[in-house]
Amino acid sequence: MADILELRDVRKAFRQGFLLRSREVLKGISFSVGEGEIFGYLGPNGAGKTSTIKCVLGLLFPDGGTIRIGGRPHLETRAKAGLGFLPENPYFYDYLTAAEFLDFYAQLFGLPKSERRERAARLLGLVGMEKAAGLQLRKFSRGMLQRIGLAQALVNDPSFLILDEPLGGLDPLGRKEIRDIILTLKEDGKTVLFTSHILQDIEMICDRVAILIGGRIHRQGRLADLVSENILFTELTVSGIDPAEVAGLGRSLSAQGGRILLKVFDDVGLESVLDLVRERKGTIHALIPRVQTLEDIFVEAVKNP
Amino acid sequence: MTIAVIARNTFKEAVRDRVLYLLLFFAALAIVLSRVLALLTVGDRAKVVKDVGLASISLFGALMAILIGTGLVYKEIDKRTIFTLISKPIRRSEFLLGKYFGLLLTLAVMTAAMSAIFLVLVFAHTLAWEFRLLIPILFIFLELGLLTAVAILFSSFSTPILSSLYALSFFLIGHFSWSLETLIQKTPPGWGRTALRAVYAVLPDLENFNLKTEFVHGLTVPSSFYVYAPLYALVYTGFVLALAVLVFRRRDFI
């Protein structure tokens, strides 16, 4: 699998304050995105996600390191020909209508008028905005802007998409729709790099992830490799036994209405609780084994960078 | 091609700006008010109408170039619309030149509108279509082209308020720099005169585009002026735009 994006030891510092003190926001970022994969770039606020993306797009000039898009230096205009970008909190020309807006971006790629019209109609359909074609962007809600922003990113039929927080500001239904669109894009052979705070979304659709903390890549790799399949603990909801009897077998979280919610950390403890319930002719209402999630890794990484 | 696309979009943006219509309204008002001034004048009233009319076109054209030009690039950065634009396969120089030509197109339309009102008013006084008055207006437009470039230069690194102040200073200095020539003549030869000459060479001389007096009073204009002034405009505008591109091409968009 060829790399469509490659960053090697990218560094960036900003000078700020009256004394122009240097603050390093990217401290040697290296990662690559392979063709056809969905790559999740996650990190807490201020970790440097957007700065990395701005460096890739040529909005910021890195102080050091190299960035290549499709094998070309990232500042070459040809490197951006097959690229689509959706910014975080989309900011667009609000005096244009949705149709004019897409037409403007399509013109930048030199597409003929008939193709521009056809493509704008198709993309408006894809993001569910056909009825808003004649509406000025200043009248759009945040969710609508996010959708039209995605349509804009697809206007040149790019092979590589960079989506900065594409699911931000969307309701659960909108998030699902955008997630589905991203998966459809992957099926069409497109490569997607996206950042998100919503770890559940990343977990659901990403092939690989990189966790950025304090301007450094903390961990990266395939989700399956990062997330252990070992059971961390089991959550049990039982009734018909005395809470005092299970006190030593796990951590009791609550005991209300005769039901005990219990967290058990090993197989021996779990077997003992089950035996006790059977002995006392009690009931097991729920038994949920909890494996490690991306959120666990993320929280641990943020706490112990 | 890319420059033309951005220029068209800039034109759309500018013509949807209320400030433009406010200025056009006041420009029209000033041109029409020249009729009132003419009524209060003893002598050739048509000359007053022409003089005040041309001065209004020059002043309001300059205000349009400065007030809209200084916000154009800044707004793109402030509203972050530049993020999606720069992510497309376009050069920063193309973006800047697109903005410049877009505003120039807007100014051309506005100047045409002001000229039409002006010519109709002159016709009302002289009962003749004086299309030769379009020549000083053409020179005013050359000045507006240079002012727009200056506004875009300041807009590429400063806020609209500061940029407007800088561009307005450029406009005022440009119209009074000729007085330095008198000072140079009165200064004894030596380093003082040389320094003044250097300052005079660097400062803009916008009086190079002022043909109002000549055309209103029917004075002759040396033919070399028609070559020298446009060339001066072309070189100066080119220089300012090159400077703007130089500043803009290495700028970080945080």
For residues A170 and A143, the answer to whether their CB atoms sit within 8 Å is: yes
pLDDT per position as a tens digit, B106-154: 999 999 999 999 999 889 888 889 899 999 999 999 999 999 999 999 9
**Which of A77, A93, A156 is closest, CB to CB, to B90?**
A77
- Range of the structural domain that residue B95 is part of: 2-249
Q: Do A78 and B1 touch (CB under 8 A)?
A: no
Rounded Cα gap, residues B205 and B183, in angstroms = 15
Q: Which amino acid does the sequence have at B88?
A: K
Whether the CB of B9 is below 8 Å from some CB of chain A: the reply is: yes
Q: Distance, in angstroms, between B238 CA and closest chain A CA? A: 24
Q: How many CB pairs under 8 A join A and B?
A: 73
Rounded Cα gap, residues A229 and B80, in angstroms = 43
Supply the pLDDT for residue A161.
95
pLDDT per position as a tens digit, A95-129: 889 999 999 999 999 899 999 999 999 999 988 88
Supply the pLDDT for residue B178.
83
Q: What structural domains does chain A harbor? A: 3-226 (3.40.50.300), 231-303 (3.30.70)
| Residue segments in chain A with a per-residue pLDDT below the cut of 70 | 1, 229, 305
Please indicate, yes or no, if residue B254 is contained in any of the structural domains. no
Rounded Cα gap, residues A222 and A228, in angstroms = 11
| Complex-level ipTM beyond the 0.95 threshold | no
Rounded Cα gap, residues A267 and B213, in angstroms = 100
Domain count, chain B: 1
Element containing residue B139 per DSSP (H, E):
helix B134-155
Q: Which residue of A has its CA nearest to B14?
A: A95
pLDDT per position as a tens digit, B228-250: 999 999 999 999 999 999 999 88
Sort strands A208-213 and A38-42 into parallel, antiparallel or unpaired: parallel
Q: Which residue of B has its CA nearest to A79?
A: B89
Which residue, among A103, A106, A65, has the nearest Cα to B89 in the 3D structure? A106
DSSP string covering A55-76: HHHTSS--SEEEEEETTEETTS
